[in-house]
């Protein structure tokens, strides 16, 4: 795992890649996985209104959050070392925009990597 300082995304021939500036001052170029593409979509802040609920759940799983058991449509995610919990529920198969924003803010605040 690499401690990152900043990252940028680019598309070459329809394939997404990520440029990562590490804390050691080196730059790495990696092909983006599905989780990486979805994380880039969240971090861009441009798709909050059009983000699939299943994709948001996938990102939380890949970021190391655990699902608290419960009933109904609400899903509550938590992670050790993070005070906040994430309570999400779908609306017509999509995540609610404010919930996508909450996930983005947590990923940035705690510098959580999505693997």
Asked if residue 40 and residue 2 are part of one domain, the reply reads no
Identify whether residues 10 and 25 lie together within a single domain. yes
My answer on whether 54 and 104 are in the same domain is yes
Asked whether residue 50 falls in the same domain as residue 93, the answer is yes
Asked if residues 97 and 89 have their Cβ atoms less than 8 Å apart, the reply is no
Domain identity same for 79 and 89: yes
Residue 79: give its domain's CATH number: 3.30.920
Going residue by residue through the chain, which has 115 residues, state the pLDDT in tens, using 9 for 90 and above: 444 444 455 544 445 555 555 556 655 556 678 998 899 899 989 999 999 999 999 999 999 999 999 889 999 999 999 999 999 999 999 999 999 999 999 999 999 999 8
Q: Are residues 63 and 80 in the same domain?
A: yes
Question: Domain range holding 94?
Answer: 33-115
Helix, coil or strand: residue 26: coil
Contact between 79 and 35 (Cβ < 8 Å):
no
Are 76 and 55 part of one and the same domain? yes
| Closest listed residue to residue 103, CA positions, set 74, 66, 60, 73 | 60
Number of folded domains that form the chain: 2
Judge if 78 and 103 occupy the same domain.
Answer: yes
List the one residue out of 81, 80, 73 whose CA is nearest residue 99.
73
Reading the block at residue 94, the tokens are: 């999509």
Q: How many Å apart are CA 88 and CA 108, to the nearest integer? A: 18
Whether 13 and 42 map to the same domain: the answer is no
């Amino acid at each position: 795992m690499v401690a990152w300082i900043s990252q940028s995304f680019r598309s070459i021939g329809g394939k997404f890649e990520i440029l990562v500036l590490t804390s050691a001052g080196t730059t790495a170029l990696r092909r983006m996985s599905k989780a990486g593409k979805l994380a880039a979509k969240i971090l861009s802040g441009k798709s909050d209104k059009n983000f699939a609920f299943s994709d948001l759940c996938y990102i939380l799983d890949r970021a190391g959050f655990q699902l608290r058991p419960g009933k109904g449509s609400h899903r509550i995610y938590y992670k050790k070392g993070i005070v906040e919990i994430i309570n999400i529920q779908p609306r017509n198969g999509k995540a609610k925009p404010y919930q996508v924003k909450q996930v983005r803010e947590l990923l940035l605040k705690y510098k959580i990597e999505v693997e």
